[in-house]
Amino acid sequence: MAALMERGIPCDRMTGTYSHYAREYCQGAYCYHPKASPFRHFAEWPAKGYRAVDFPKTELLVDRVVSIPLGTLYRTEDADVIAEAIQEVHGELMG
């Protein structure tokens, strides 16, 4: 991930590439208003089932996710640049 970022390929964690329990609203035990929070009834926070330690396999997988940026605004040339960077990094890693 770091090697791709150094090449200008934004591939850090983004929505959809990490678990809900790691999201700010969950870590902060709130949503739009404290009275509307689905977490307001928990005495201790983060409560069991909302902690990273409760999901060791998920944490192992999430730490290995690399989100490759591609979307409707990207051109074919953009995809080529991203693909070349991935191939370069893969080559470096495989030595």
Q: Taking phi first (over 0 means left), then psi (-120 to 50 degrees means alpha), and beta for anything else, what does residue 49 get?
A: left
% of the chain surpassing 90 pLDDT: 32
Cα 27 to Cα 82: distance, rounded to the nearest angstrom: 33
Query: Residue written as tokens 């964690």?
Result: 13
Q: Where are the alpha helices (DSSP H) in 7-52?
A: 24-27
Cis peptide preceding 46, ω within 30 of 0: yes
Across 11-20, 43-52, 86-95, least confident range = 11-20
Provide the whole-model pTM.
Answer: 0.61
pLDDT band at 5 (very low <50, low <70, confident <90, very high): very high
Average pLDDT over the chain, rounded to whole?
84
